[in-house]
């Protein structure tokens, strides 16, 4: 049993994880995810795909809000930039998905400078309102740039392949989303242990002290906006591939609120928390449906008629309970539970 976490060398201090058991569990989880389409039905595979797609965006938002401390509720706008860039390049330019996905992320990262540069002197609620205004502006641009975005009509995406694997039927899109999620999670973990990640944490904890220590606030704020928006734009592009049809309603304000709820419930500043929050909130409606189904036909009809109201009500209740009893979110619950069993029978509290 591990009796301590003592670091003897600097590489140990900045390692992603020095716990062999953690790597073992991560490997086991990856194997199970690879086998999921083989044992689960089409519906559950599609649901798992949605979890992975939203998890990428949640990790990106957590880098900006949880790690750098820059509150953003403009997630929907950056997802729309990524989704529409992907759709336009596929339908109008005929580009392959291998190129449209990274370009969609880059487009969102570049557009983030439109928000990032004017917001350099803003923080807290003022920054949040600015990012919200950006999301509304993007929606209006989509509606009125009719020649490019098809306005209210939306865009139907053609059948596509990635490295010869079809993305419209079967588990192809699931495996693509899984591969990208693994890559982006590893990238985020490495960013956090780099100079950039540590500068973001200093910026979050005390920006004046960070500036005194030599952290260039302007540069690192823009880094945070661009890296986060790349993740979010990529998530929006994958969402367009999943739905195969997008319009302005797909990237509505609700998706920004849900993204913020994901990182709050999962645990701010934690990559693990972003993944847990994305999985929890995406699967929560299914769990609610199963509970209502167990109470008979009347309960099923009630859930069918008021599914959105019930979901939003429970979102609010769960967020309040988490903030009241476990501000660390699901990642905090996992950490405390692991600590309890690691120290058992000497655990307390």
Closest CA to 52 of 177, 238, 224: 177
| CA atoms of 55 and 184, how far apart (whole Å) | 10
**Per-residue confidence (pLDDT) for residue 315, from 0 to 100:** 76
Q: Which two tokens stand for residue 95?
A: 């580009």
In 10 A of CB 109, how many CB atoms?
23
Residues 174, 36: Cα–Cα separation, whole Å: 10
Pairing mode of beta strands 161-162, 155-156: unpaired
User: Which of residues 182 and 327 earns the better pLDDT score?
Assistant: 182
- The label of the residue with tokens 């689960």 reads 40
Task: Report pLDDT for 52.
Answer: 94
Helix, strand and coil percent figures for the chain, each rounded to 5: 75, 0, 25
The pLDDT assigned to 64 comes to: 92
Q: How confident is the model at residue 14, as a pLDDT?
A: 64
pLDDT at 345: 65
pLDDT higher than threshold 50 for residue 205? yes
Percent of the chain whose predicted confidence (pLDDT) is above 70: 91
Q: Does residue 227 register a pLDDT over 90?
A: yes
Nearest to 267 by CA among 315, 192, 317, 328: 328
Output the pLDDT for position 1.
45
Please give the distance of CA 31 from its chain centroid, rounded to a whole number.
22
Whole-prediction pTM value? 0.88
For residues 200 and 342, the model is more confident at 200
Q: What is the pLDDT of residue 311?
A: 75
Answer yes or no: is pLDDT of 2 > 60.
no
Average pLDDT on 224-236 reads 94
pLDDT at 123: 78
Mean pLDDT confidence for 202-209? 86
More confident residue, 15 or 237: 237
Quickly state the pLDDT bin for 50 (edges 50, 70, 90).
very high
pLDDT classification of 13: cutoffs 50, 70, 90: low
Token pair belonging to 290: 């199963």
- Tens of pLDDT, residues 289-310: 888 777 777 777 877 777 777 7
Q: Dump pLDDT digits (tens) for 90-122.
A: 998 889 999 999 999 999 999 998 888 887 777
pLDDT at 159 over 50: yes
261-278 per-position pLDDT tens digit:
889 888 888 888 899 989
Least confident of 4-8, 226-230, 293-297, 342-346: 4-8
Q: Is the pLDDT of residue 70 over 70?
A: yes
The string of pLDDT tens digits covering residues 322-331 is 778 877 788 8
Q: How many CA atoms lie within 13 A of 71 on its CB side?
A: 13
In this prediction, residue 115 carries a pLDDT of 83
Mean per-residue pLDDT over the chain, rounded: 85
User: Domains in the chain, ordered, with CATH?
Assistant: 40-343 (1.10.3470)
Q: Give per-residue pLDDT as tens, 35-44.
A: 988 888 888 8
């Amino acid at each position: 049993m591990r009796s301590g976490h003592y670091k003897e060398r600097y590489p140990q201090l900045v390692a992603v994880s020095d716990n062999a058991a953690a790597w073992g569990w991560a490997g086991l989880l990856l194997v199970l995810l690879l086998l999921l389409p083989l044992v689960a039905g089409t519906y559950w595979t599609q649901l798992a795909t949605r979890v992975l797609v939203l998890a990428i965006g949640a990790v990106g938002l957590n880098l900006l809000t949880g790690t750098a401390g820059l509150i953003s509720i403009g997630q929907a706008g950056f997802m729309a930039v990524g989704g529409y860039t992907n759709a336009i390049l596929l339908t109008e330019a005929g580009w392959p998905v291998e190129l449209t996905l990274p370009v969609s992320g880059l487009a969102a990262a570049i557009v983030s400078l439109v928000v990032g540069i004017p917001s350099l002197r803003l923080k807290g609620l003022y920054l949040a309102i600015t990012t919200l205004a950006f999301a509304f502006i993007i929606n209006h641009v989509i509606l009125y740039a009719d020649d490019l975005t098809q306005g209210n009509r939306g865009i139907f995406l053609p059948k596509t392949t990635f490295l010869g694997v079809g993305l419209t039927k079967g588990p192809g899109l699931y495996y693509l989303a899984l591969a990208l999620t693994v890559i982006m999670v590893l990238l985020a973990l490495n960013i956090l242990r780099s100079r950039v990640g540590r500068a973001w944490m200093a910026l979050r904890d005390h920006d004046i002290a960070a500036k005194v220590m030599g952290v260039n606030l302007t540069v690192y704020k823009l880094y945070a906006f661009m890296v986060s928006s790349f993740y979010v734009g990529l998530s929006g592009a994958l969402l367009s591939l999943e739905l195969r049809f997008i319009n302005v309603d797909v990237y509505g304000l609700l998706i920004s609120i849900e993204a913020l709820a994901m990182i709050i419930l999962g645990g701010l500043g934690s990559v693990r928390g972003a993944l847990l929050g994305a999985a929890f909130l995406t699967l929560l409606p299914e769990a609610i449906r199963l509970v209502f189904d167990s109470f008979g036909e009347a309960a099923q009809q009630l859930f069918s008629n008021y599914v959105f109201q019930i979901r939003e009500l429970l979102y609010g209740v769960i967020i309040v309970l988490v903030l009241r009893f476990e501000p660390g979110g699901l990642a905090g619950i996992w950490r405390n539970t692991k600590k309890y069993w690691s120290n058992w029978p000497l655990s307390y509290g």
